[in-house]
Amino acid sequence: MSDAMAQFRDAFFEEATELADGMEATLLSMDLADVEVEDLHTLFRAAHSIKGNAATFGFPEVAAFTHKLESTLEPVRQGSRPMTPDLRELLLQGVDLIRSHLHHARRGEALPLKEQQSQTVLIAKLQEDGGAPLSTLAAPVTAAKAEAPKGARGFSIRFEAPRDAFRRGVNLERLFRDLGRLGTLQTWPDLKRIPPLEQLDPEDCHLAWDIRLETTHPQADVDEVFEFVAEGDNLRIQPLTPEGAVPNLGEILQAEAGVSPADIREALSQQKRLGELLVDMGKVQPEVVTKALDQQQKKKNLAEASTVRVATEKIDRLVNLVGELVITQAMLAQASQQSNTMQGEEMMSAALLQLDRQTRELQERVMGIRMVPVEMVFSRFPRMVHELGKQLGKDVELLMEGQATELDKTFIEMLVDPLTHLVRNAVDHGMETKEERRMTGKPAMGSISLVASSRGGHIHIEVKDDGKGLNRDRILRKALDRGLIAPGSRPSDEELNLLIFEPGFSTVEQVSDLSGRGVGMDVVRQNVRALGGRIEVESETGKGTLIRLVLPLTLAILDGLTVRVGDETYVFPLASVLESFQRQTADVQTVKGDREVISLRGEFIPVVRLQNLLAVGSNPDASERTLLVLVESEGRRAAMAVDELLGQQQVVIKSLETHYKRVEGISGATILGDGRVALILDVPGLMRQEAAAATVGA
């Protein structure tokens, strides 16, 4: 800066300070009951001069702030806004701020943060306190901050910068600048995620912030700021308590005392729950509390489960269909009146064709009402994987596909636990540690994918990891130990892999905190079977594991194996059928008089005579049933004797209870293509019956 310019600047500061002093004197000497108009003009002129000069001499911040005072004074000078004691107070504070601005600007410093804040508050108050909003000068950031009045709504934001932020050329500074433009910003950096120096890759970004943004902008504007760095779970935006409602203590402490959200979270986590406190007081037993909590959860679940939200679009389509049906019905009625003419016959067959199509569509659509996107289960996993990975010190990313795939609502609820378990298992067991991955030349970031898709009447849900794969030898050893397979037998990979779903099976040598207690995988299988589905496992050592849940589209439709016993047709749920074979080829032995068993690969399996159990036909089991169907349920197997396998088909399940009453061994009924009724066999029920009969017989 040249000497001459410096001289001018000195002159500016002197003049401006004099003007500010003059404003103060005028404000103090003013008689509010009888305001001299000339005094108001003096005030306005002083502010106007300071603003103009400050802009000229390169102090935009001074200019911007004084501009606000000037705009406040304009309507007062015009007589449209009264000079109240409050306004005088605010203007006096404004004069103090001008002095402070000048003081710091003269030294080439920025206005201290504290004063910036009080400036923000002051400007907001000047605005609130009557009158039109202040016009803004082409303003620097500090002035723009003032746009959101204090106490306005806004957002509490938790932002964890993506690890590759630097490598992608993301400028985090800009982010805060853009946020600052939306309103008043308070930030608390969270450095806890930064690893120790020796593990720190300087090109990785480990920064996180808790942010409090007071703004009148909608959330979409905030989302937009984070557009390039939001990755699902690394950004959480919650609205602050709306104006008028009472904010919670933490929020007030954040705003007023600058207490960091991280500290508040920690304090809250130390706070004990009601149940714990009561237990501590000796008023109640822990089990009672657990029970009460369970009960509460059940009630919550029930409340959620008993209703279903349906897209209006789906309902509209149904309404349309019903409309079409009415027309078809009219067509049929008309056709039946002239059924003896050629034209009538044609019309009849056309109408019937239409009716057929409409009925089918109606069935599909009505079932569709129960369908909800699988997203509802998936949505919880990004967070879970993130936290698990953090806990276990593994870098894991979760990829999800097919979230829009629709599933029966009941399924969604029953899938939560199994999927949670599978995903957890994948992170905990499937995924190697960072070091192991590095040694085997894999990328440090492990990946787990969760894919839902709809394939020919089935829904596939796959949980896939790129971890170490199942350890064949270890599973084999364990299976032998547990007596799950006979010594010397050579199970296929497929069979071996499925052993991990046996109860009590866990190959993890060191039981970890998260999984590996040997419970869980069998529960996964149990739940999937209860849904009429099955599990497939594919695994390649060193490459990863894929677990696929194959589920029927809906509980209302079942994949069945239709069989003939005597004169009756029955349906086995396909999911419980393992295989079928000719009786002659099987090694059937008679034990305890009339009971039969077959010996299959070293295992004795009871033969169930369905005809006896179900009392089919008039004559008791005279003929030898020629075929055996091997079924499995809850880990037990049985060979069901039938006469004929009729085929495999999808059947619509009709409840027997609603139409008749509950029958042991029968889970429902269905109507076959030829109009006859077939009963659907309840395999676990049949086995229980058989076991009971065996005990009685013994």
**Cβ nearer to other proteins, comparing 175 with 627:** 175
Q: Tokens in use for 289?
A: 């509390």
Give the binding range for other proteins (CB under 8 A) out of 1-9, 168-176, 482-490, 510-518: 168-176
**Cβ nearer to other proteins, comparing 174 with 298:** 174
**Cβ nearer to other proteins, comparing 393 with 443:** 443
Give the binding range for other proteins (CB under 8 A) out of 166-174, 188-196, 267-275, 285-293: 166-174
593 binds other proteins (CB under 8 A): no
User: In the complex, what is the shortest distance from the CB of residue 223 to other proteins, in angstroms, rounded to a whole number?
Assistant: 13
Give the binding range for other proteins (CB under 8 A) out of 163-171, 266-274, 480-488, 667-675: 163-171
Options 39, 96, 129, 178; binder of other proteins; rule CB under 8 A: 178
Q: Tokens in use for 692?
A: 């009971």
202 binds other proteins (CB under 8 A): no
Residue corresponding to tokens 């809906």 = 554
**Cβ nearer to other proteins, comparing 9 with 181:** 181
User: In the complex, what is the shortest distance from the CB of residue 105 to other proteins, in angstroms, rounded to a whole number?
Assistant: 23
**Cβ nearer to other proteins, comparing 157 with 642:** 157
**Cβ nearer to other proteins, comparing 37 with 399:** 399
Give the binding range for other proteins (CB under 8 A) out of 63-71, 164-172, 424-432, 674-682: 164-172
Strand order in the sheet with 627-633: 577-582, 627-633, 636-642, 603-609, 595-600, 587-591
User: In the complex, what is the shortest distance from the CB of residue 170 to other proteins, in angstroms, rounded to a whole number?
Assistant: 5
| Binding flags for other proteins, 64-103, as an x/- string (CB under 8 A) | ----------------------------------------
Subset of residues 40 to 59 that bind other proteins, contact rule: CB under 8 A = none
Contacts of 523 (CB under 8 A, 6+ apart): 417, 418, 421
Contacts of 154 (CB under 8 A, 6+ apart): 148, 183, 184, 212, 213, 214, 215, 239, 240
Dihedral pair phi/psi, residue 192, rounded to 5°: -65, -25
User: In the complex, what is the shortest distance from the CB of residue 404 to other proteins, in angstroms, rounded to a whole number?
Assistant: 13
171 binds other proteins (CB under 8 A): yes
**Cβ nearer to other proteins, comparing 169 with 675:** 169
**Cβ nearer to other proteins, comparing 173 with 481:** 173
| Binding flags for other proteins, 103-132, as an x/- string (CB under 8 A) | ------------------------------
8 binds other proteins (CB under 8 A): no
User: In the complex, what is the shortest distance from the CB of residue 438 to other proteins, in angstroms, rounded to a whole number?
Assistant: 20
DSSP of 325-394: HHHHHHHHHHHHHTTTSHHHHHHHHHHHHHHHHHHHHHHHHHHHHTEEETHHHHTTHHHHHHHHHHHHT-
Give the binding range for other proteins (CB under 8 A) out of 160-168, 455-463, 603-611, 664-672: 160-168
Dihedral pair phi/psi, residue 208, rounded to 5°: -145, 155
**Class of residue 75 by CB neighbours under 10 A (exposed 0-12, middle 13-18, buried 19+):** middle
Subset of residues 222 to 251 that bind other proteins, contact rule: CB under 8 A = 225, 227-228
> What is the C-alpha to C-alpha distance for residues 510 and 503, in angstroms, rounded to an integer?
18
Which is nearest to 313 in space by CA: 305, 304, 321?
321
Give the number of residues written for the chain: 698
From first CA to last CA, the distance across the chain in angstroms is 110
Q: Where are the beta strands (DSSP E) in 576-665?
A: 577-582, 587-591, 595-600, 603-609, 627-633, 636-642, 644-652
Q: Is 83 helix (H, G, I), strand (E, B) or coil?
A: coil
User: In the complex, what is the shortest distance from the CB of residue 264 to other proteins, in angstroms, rounded to a whole number?
Assistant: 31
Which is nearest to 412 in space by CA: 366, 452, 464, 382?
452
- H or E element, residue 118: helix 113-128
166 binds other proteins (CB under 8 A): yes
Dihedral pair phi/psi, residue 186, rounded to 5°: -125, 135
**Cβ nearer to other proteins, comparing 353 with 399:** 399
Q: Tokens in use for 646?
A: 């009729």
User: In the complex, what is the shortest distance from the CB of residue 224 to other proteins, in angstroms, rounded to a whole number?
Assistant: 9
> What is the C-alpha to C-alpha distance for residues 640 and 663, in angstroms, rounded to an integer?
19
Q: Is 556 helix (H, G, I), strand (E, B) or coil?
A: coil
The residue type found at 139 is A
**Cβ nearer to other proteins, comparing 170 with 352:** 170
User: In the complex, what is the shortest distance from the CB of residue 452 to other proteins, in angstroms, rounded to a whole number?
Assistant: 16
Subset of residues 522 to 561 that bind other proteins, contact rule: CB under 8 A = none
Options 108, 169, 282, 456; binder of other proteins; rule CB under 8 A: 169
168 binds other proteins (CB under 8 A): yes
User: In the complex, what is the shortest distance from the CB of residue 541 to other proteins, in angstroms, rounded to a whole number?
Assistant: 27
Give the binding range for other proteins (CB under 8 A) out of 77-85, 220-228, 300-308, 658-666: 220-228
Q: Tokens in use for 344?
A: 């009538």
400 binds other proteins (CB under 8 A): no
**Cβ nearer to other proteins, comparing 174 with 357:** 174
Options 39, 115, 129, 164; binder of other proteins; rule CB under 8 A: 164
Q: Is 639 helix (H, G, I), strand (E, B) or coil?
A: strand
**Cβ nearer to other proteins, comparing 171 with 626:** 171
User: Number of residues in contact with other proteins, rule: CB under 8 A?
Assistant: 12
> What is the C-alpha to C-alpha distance for residues 195 and 458, in angstroms, rounded to an integer?
45
Whole-angstrom CA distances from 219 to 155, 226, 264, 391 are: 8, 11, 24, 31
**Cβ nearer to other proteins, comparing 129 with 178:** 178
Give the binding range for other proteins (CB under 8 A) out of 170-178, 445-453, 578-586, 671-679: 170-178
> What is the C-alpha to C-alpha distance for residues 435 and 455, in angstroms, rounded to an integer?
38
The binding site for other proteins (CB under 8 A) comprises: 164, 166-171, 174, 178, 225, 227-228
